[in-house]
Amino acid sequence: MTSKFLRVLLACAVTSTLSALAQTGSSAPPSGSAAPTKPAASAPAPNLGTKVGAINVEAAVFGCNEGSRDLDGLRKKFEPKQSELKNQNDEL
């Protein structure tokens, strides 16, 4: 439990650090300029907000043709073992 908690905490810390670094701009002047210049006044960028999406992976995989085909292949592969186990269960 503690190990899982520490992993989640570490992942959150790394993610928040990377997010903060990605949002900050570079303050160093370009290497080719002789002297730093004052940035031109510009309008602030509009806040577009954050978009969050959720994907139901199981429905996406089993809903497509390839997923259905692979699922049928797995069922055929394990069918003999399932019938053997069912027979053993019936004997008990």
* pLDDT tens, position by position, 5-42: 778 877 877 787 777 767 765 555 555 555 555 555 56
Distance CA(72)–CA(62), nearest Å, equals 10
Query: How far from each other are the two terminal CA atoms of the chain, in whole angstroms?
Result: 39
Contact 61, 67 (CB under 8 A): yes
- Domain map of the chain by residue range? 56-92
Contact 59, 53 (CB under 8 A): no
Locate tokens 């049928």: which residue? Answer: 72
Res. 70: pLDDT tops 80: yes
Q: Is the pTM of this model over 0.75?
A: no
Distance CA(43)–CA(24), nearest Å, equals 17
